[in-house]
Structure 1
Amino acid sequence: MKKIETKIDEAFRNTFLLPREKVVTNFLVDVLNSKYQFREDDKKIEVISLYYYASSPLSFLFALPNYEYYSPDKTIQIAELHLKEHSFEDYSNIDVQELCKKVLDENNIDYSAYLDEDNQLDFANYWENQFGLESDFLMNCWRNAKEKTQSKMIGFLESSDAGGGLFDLDNGYDVPFDVDVDEYLQSHGFIVTKEI
């Protein structure tokens, strides 16, 4: 099954992720180059939060100063990326399911045991890599944007519903729920002055 997972991973990357890479990276370049004026004052933003829409991570992204360090009351603009505005339709579970079926068919794998009563494929039984691939993709776009801009800004990836955890965009670490962001950054050698 590991081999088929790898083939689905590759198909998922090629179908859904790679076509969106340039648009997402360019958005993050704009964020890092301060195209968006987050505040009226000229306070330098050193820590940013990049949020993805929990139910469809690549349909809508937004960035803003990290509220552990900067007062939300002073935020006047949020950087937003709606991929539909760049001619990318959202992909649904049905689209992912069809992609999985295609890969299984191409490899002559009988998946009838994974069909539910509505003849829908439950890919959770053999492929659970979607979110990992999406978050790795966003972290890779962030790293590419940082390389292009040479920005020293620190970034965290968060879910719009706060249920997805907190990821260090620069290092790919999953920040444990019981660890404070300030404590985490200090343990990695970053001292950022808090506004609040």
Structure 2
Amino acid sequence: MKIETKIDEAFKNTFLLPREKTVTQFLIDVLSSKYKFREDDKKIEVISLYYYASSPLSFLFALPNYEYYSPDKTIQMAELHLKEHSFEDYSSTDVQELCKKVLNENNIDYSAYLDEDNQLDYAHYWENQFGLESDFLMNCWRNAKEQTQSKMIGFLESSDGAGGVFDMDNGFDFPFDVDMDEYLRSHGFVIEKEA
């Protein structure tokens, strides 16, 4: 087994799997309308799930997708702060320590990747963290949809807008050069935009 795969497994087991039930339950609550996004009864068919850019699994929030729904009519944002569920945020230092542990367990010399402060720069051999986190969020979304039988469409975005947009139902990047309405129509969804 490649060392990268071993780090992936350790990362999933240490940071992702313990959070799975809590994140999935939050998404079930979003999909089953526990949160009242608006005062009127307009059905929300497209939602945006945002993760906090600098720490994707510390804070998540969901809103009606503003391509389709007027931001002025939103009265509530669905929020999940994982600290409120007894999960400490994990930092790059925590991830670095996890990498060192896996490297040590596999007798791999990583001295070449230490900087002058003895900090490990794991970008040289492991860059899967964001991919694992976004896959995890999309998997929780799919599980929540399965449990609720919701037809809601979801897009995953970073809070700073820099991470791109993911189609959570199909698991791939939303193309930057395509209009969202055009994209959804091409997948057989016709959703009326709010004027």
TM-score w.r.t. the length of structure 1 is: 0.99
Which residue does the alignment assign to 1:28?
A: 27
Which residue does the alignment assign to 1:14?
A: 13
Q: One-letter code of the match for 1:22? A: K
Deviations 1:122-152, CA, capped at 9 Å, x for gaps:
0000000000000000000000000000000
Is 1:51 the equivalent of 2:61? no
Which residue does the alignment assign to 1:190?
A: 189
Partners of 2:63 and 2:144 lie apart in 1 by: 16
- The aligned runs of 1:73-92 (5 Å cut-off) are 73-92=72-91
Which residue does the alignment assign to 2:96?
A: 97
Which residue does the alignment assign to 1:165?
A: 164
Q: One-letter code of the match for 1:184? A: Y
Kindly report structure 1 stretches of 4+ aligned residues shifted beyond 3 Å. none
Deviations 1:40-86, CA, capped at 9 Å, x for gaps:
00000000000000000000000010000000000000000000000
Shift of 1:181: 1.0
RMSD between superposed Cα atoms in Å: 0.7
Q: One-letter code of the match for 2:73? A: K
SS in 2 for 1:48: strand
Which residue does the alignment assign to 1:129?
A: 128
Which residue does the alignment assign to 1:65?
A: 64
**Structure 1 unpaired stretches of 5+:** none
Which residue does the alignment assign to 1:147?
A: 146
Identity of aligned residues (%): 87
SS in 2 for 1:84: helix
Partners of 1:128 and 1:179 lie apart in 2 by: 28
Q: One-letter code of the match for 2:88? A: E
Shift of 1:176: 1.4
TM-score w.r.t. the length of structure 2 is: 0.99
Q: One-letter code of the match for 1:26? A: Q
Count of residue pairs brought into register by the alignment: 195
Shift of 1:156: 0.2
SS in 2 for 1:22: helix
Shift of 1:117: 1.1
**Structure 2 unpaired stretches of 5+:** none
- The aligned runs of 1:114-125 (5 Å cut-off) are 114-125=113-124
